[in-house]
Each structure stands twice: as C-alpha cells, then as structure tokens.
Structure 1
Amino acid sequence: MSSIAVIGLGIMGLPMARNLVTAGHQVVGYNRSQDKIDALVEAGGTGAGSVAEAVADVDIVITMVPDSPDVEDVVSGDDGVFAHAKQGTLWIDASSIRPDVTRRLADAARDAGVRPLDAPVSGGEQGAIDGVLSIMVGGDADDFADAQDVLNVVGRTVVHVGPSGSGQTVKAANQLIVAVNIEVLGEAIAFLEAYGVDTDAALKVLGGGLAGSKVLDQKGQKMLDREFAPGFRLALHHKDMGIVTSAAREANVAIPLGALVAQLVAATVNQGDGGLDHSGLFKQVLQLSGRDAGTSAETTA
C-alpha cells in the first residue's frame, strides 16, 4: 500500500481521499479550510498543516484544486510540492486545468525529480463518492503503470491517453460534450413541460433510446425537481469552457455549438448562479423561454 498526500479536499478531493483510506492506503490531506481536514481525519486519514508537511514523506501526491493558478501555487515556490517531495515521487494532478500549463509544470516537475501525470476526472461528486470516476491520464507510460493501483481505487475507467497534457486535452473535450448535452437536455425538458407531458415518463423512454446518456440519467431529475445543489459547480464548468474554446482557437478548430453554449454558461454564472450544479444551466433555458425557474411550467400549448 502507498503513502499518499491529497492536496485539495473539496467536493471531489475529499471522497477520493476517503476511498483511498478505505482501500488501505496511508493518506494525509491538506486543505485551506480545517473542517475538510477534520473530515478526512474522521475517516481514518491524517491531516497536515501545510503542503510542505503533507508531501514531505509520501510516495504519491494527488492535487485536486480548482484552476491553473491554484495548481501552480500548490506545486511551485519554497513551500510547494516540487521543493519538498522526495525524489521519484509520483505527482498526479487530478485538477482540470489548461493543457499548456500542464505541459510546462510537467517539465518543471521532472527538473525537480518528481514524476508528473495529469489525470483529470469525470463523473461528478457521486462518481467520486462511489469510486467510479472516468480518469484520462497524460504522462509517461511507466509512471502511469506505477500509478494504476491508486487510480483504480478512485476510478472505474482509467485510460492512458498520451504524453503530458493529453489528459487535460481529453478532459476539455469531455467538458465540451457535457456542457452541450446539459444545454440540450434543458431545452428538451422545457419543451416537454410546455406541452404538459408526463416528464418522468418522457425521460424514462428517452433514456432507453438513442437520446439516452449519462447526462440525462444524472441531471434530468435535478432539472425536473429544480434542485441544483452542486455536484460540479457552474463556475468551474465556465472555467473549463474557457479552456476548450481557447485551445480550439489555438488549434484552428471550429466549435460553433460549443462557443454558443460557453456564452450561455457564462451568462448563467454572471447572473449569480455560479455556485449551482452545472445542471443549473437549465435556469437560463427557462429564463430565455419566459418560464418560472422555480416550479414546473403549466401547459401553454
């Protein structure tokens, strides 16, 4: 069993750390808020007072923080991972950040004697709790092989997709697909409600056909219930849509539908709903349709 430091014990990081504890690994966690550290300790892990303390004597470091600057802050500088991790430590960045930043930090990690893997995840909070995340991994194939036992604890689909930065590129594509699916699912539900259809029955039959998807399975009921407690916050999906639109522009790839959905996500966040689950994009659909976002719409047909 490995000794593992988990830096970032938020919606995703904490359940991942708990699953690693349950699997028998020695897990030390660090988070800026003490209550998250206390929750890990209660689950059988240990807490650290700083990044430096957390990573000083472990085999593997997992970072799970919101954005590119946060990852840079955690790994760089006098108190960062690179300055205090042992030579040969595996660094697995499970955050979703810019591919170009990932490649630059991977080079810096190797210079510091740390073995980098970018391993962003998909599956949301419930996937993290259940240990069934989809994990797309970039980096050296031998390092991936060394990390697989740990990654298999927190993920069900764990795939090496190429060199450093590749995991983040695949995650950007994932976020593009998910955002477009959430938007069109919201439009379909608004359409069904406007015609007074039994929406529970409608989603059941749609889910069994070609329109079925994990987005429909996981987000459809949240939209019907107008229940948008965050499993993955809209503010973070807004960040991710910025990553994919920027990367697509750099590669001269047209993503017209993605660009439109990115603007709808941005508008929803700018209206104060960034803390909602990304299924809360449905609120924007309802607003554009002149419908009440608080309750299911009455038949107007």
Structure 2
Amino acid sequence: MSTIAFIGLGIMGSPMAVHLQNAGHDVVGYNLSPEKTQPLVDAGGRAADSVADAVRDAEIVAVMVPDSPDVQEVLLGEEGVFASAKEGTLVIDFSSIRPDVTVELAKAAKDKGFRLLDAPVSGGEAGAKNAALSIMVGGDAADFEAAKPVFDAVGKTIVHVGGSGAGQTVKAANQLIVAANIQALAEGVVFLEAYGVDLGAALDVLGGGLAGSKVLDQKRDNMANKTFQPGFRIDLHHKDMGIVTSAAREAGVVVPLGGLVAQLMASARANGDGSLDHSALLRGVQRLSGQKTD
C-alpha cells in the first residue's frame, strides 16, 4: 500500500480518492474548496492545507483538475508538485488536458527527477462512484505497471495506449464520440416526442438494437425527465471539444461532425447551460426546434 496525495476532489476526484483510501492506501487530499475533502476524511483519509502539504511525503501523486492551466499550476507552481514532492515520485494525471501540454509536462517531470503518466478517465460520475472507470494511460510502460494498484482501485478497463500524450489523445477521441452520441440521442428524443411516441418504450427497443449505446443507457433518464444534474458538465465537455478540434487541426485531419458538435456545445454554454450535465444538449435541440425548455 502507498501514501498517495490526491489533488482535486470534485465530482470525479472525491469518489476516486475514497476508493483508494478504502483499498488500504494512505490518502492525503487537497482541494481549493476545503469542504470537498470531507468524504475522504470520513473514509479515514486526511485533508491537506496546500498542494505542498499534500505531496511532501507522498510516494504517488494523483491529479484530477479541470483544465491544462490547472494541471500546469499544480505541477509547476511555486509550491507545486515538482517543487515540493520527493524526487522520483510517480505522478498520475487523471485530468483531461491537451496532449501537447502533457508532452511538455512529461519532459519537465523527467528533467526534475519525476515520473509522469497521463491517465484521463471515461465513465463520468457513475463510473467514479462505482470504481468502474475506463482509464487510457500514456507514459512509460514500467511506470504504468507501478501505477496498476492505483488504477485497479478506481477503474475497470485500464489500458496502456502508448507514450506520453497518448492517453490524452485517446481521451480526446472518446469525448468526440461521446458528444456525437449525446447529440444524436437528443435529436432522437425530440423527434420521438414530436410524434407522441411512448418515449420509454421507444428507447427500450432502440437500446436493444444497433442504436444502443452506453450513452443511451446512462443519459436516457436525464432526457426523458428533463433533469440535468451534472455527472459531467457541459463546461468541461466544451473544453474537451476545443482540445479535439485543435488537435485535429494540428494533425491535419478533418472532423466535421466534431466541429459541429463543438459549436452546439458552445451554444449550450452561451445559453446558460454550462453547469448542467452534457445530456442537456437536448435543450439546444429544443431551442432550435422552437420549443420551450423546461
């Protein structure tokens, strides 16, 4: 068992840190909003007052924060991980950030005597709570093996997909596919409702055929009930679609559907839906159809 510093205890990070504590690790958590450390403390973990305090005695540092600048600040800041942790510490970045930033951070980590894995996750709040996340890991193969006990405590499908940045690249593809699926499901729901079809029955039969997907399984109730308590916020998916479109342009590949969904995600934010679950793309379809949103 390891001493683990967990930086970022939000919707995803909090249950992940609790799972690690329950698995027998000694977890020290830090979050900008201190009250969010309480579930970890209740599970037997400890709360730190700063990143430096959290990582000082850690063997492994886990990071789960919203965006590239946040990860850069956590790792490179004046009292960040690289300035405060012990040399040789393994750093696992569970955040979803730009692949090019990850490559730069991995180089900086190596130069300073640290080991960095990019390990973004998929599965949303439900996956985090159930320790059933899919984890796509980039970095050194030996570091991946060293991190397996951490991954096994929080995830179900865990794959080493290549060198530094590969995990973030796979996560970008994941976010493209998920966004397109959510948008298609939203359009299907509005279409079905316009014809007065029994929505539950329709989604049951669609879910049993080729149109079935984990997106349909997990998001159908949100759309049917028009309740969008965030499991993964539109604000964050908007950020991820920016990563997709930027990385595609850099690679010289065309993602026309990705570009469209990125604009629809931006429209949702502009209409005040950024704090809602990404299934609230349904509200955008309703607006485009001249319908009132609930």
TM-score by length of 2: 0.99
Matched letter for residue 283 of structure 2: K
Residue matched to 2:161? 161
Residue matched to 1:288? 288
SS in 1 for 2:102: helix
> Where in structure 2 are the equivalents of 1:206-221 lying within 5 Å?
206-221=206-221
SS in 1 for 2:254: coil
Identity of aligned residues (%): 66
Residue matched to 2:2? 2
Residue matched to 1:103? 103
> Where in structure 2 are the equivalents of 1:121-270 lying within 5 Å?
121-270=121-270
CA displacement 1:137-158 (0-9 Å, x = unmatched): 0000000000011101100000
Unaligned runs of 5+ in 1: 295-301
Matched letter for residue 60 of structure 1: I
CA distance in 1, matches of 2:39, 2:178: 30
Shift of 1:246: 0.3
Aligned residues: 294
Shift of 1:78: 2.2
Unaligned runs of 5+ in 2: none
CA distance in 2, matches of 1:128, 1:90: 21
> Where in structure 2 are the equivalents of 1:9-20 lying within 5 Å?
9-20=9-20
SS in 2 for 1:28: strand
SS in 2 for 1:261: helix
Q: Confirm or deny: 8 A CA contact 1:83 1:112 kept in the other structure.
A: no
SS in 2 for 1:160: strand
Q: Confirm or deny: 8 A CA contact 1:92 1:119 kept in the other structure.
A: yes
Residue matched to 1:297? none
Shift of 1:293: 2.0
CA distance in 1, matches of 2:164, 2:273: 33
CA displacement 1:234-264 (0-9 Å, x = unmatched): 0000000000000000111100111001000
CA distance in 2, matches of 1:288, 1:77: 44
CA distance in 2, matches of 1:202, 1:23: 41
Q: Confirm or deny: 8 A CA contact 2:18 2:39 kept in the other structure.
A: no
Matched letter for residue 223 of structure 1: M
CA distance in 2, matches of 1:95, 1:111: 21
Shift of 1:283: 0.2
Q: Confirm or deny: 8 A CA contact 1:138 1:163 kept in the other structure.
A: yes
SS in 1 for 2:211: coil
Q: Confirm or deny: 8 A CA contact 1:92 1:118 kept in the other structure.
A: yes
Range that drifts further, 136-145 or 40-49: 40-49
Matched letter for residue 243 of structure 1: I
Q: CA RMSD in A?
A: 0.7
Shift of 1:62: 0.4
Residue matched to 1:24? 24
CA distance in 2, matches of 1:205, 1:3: 48
Matched letter for residue 273 of structure 1: D
CA distance in 2, matches of 1:77, 1:264: 34
Range that drifts further, 64-73 or 32-41: 32-41
SS in 2 for 1:107: helix
Q: Confirm or deny: 8 A CA contact 2:56 2:86 kept in the other structure.
A: yes
Residue matched to 1:55? 55
Matched, 1:277 2:238: no
SS in 2 for 1:62: strand
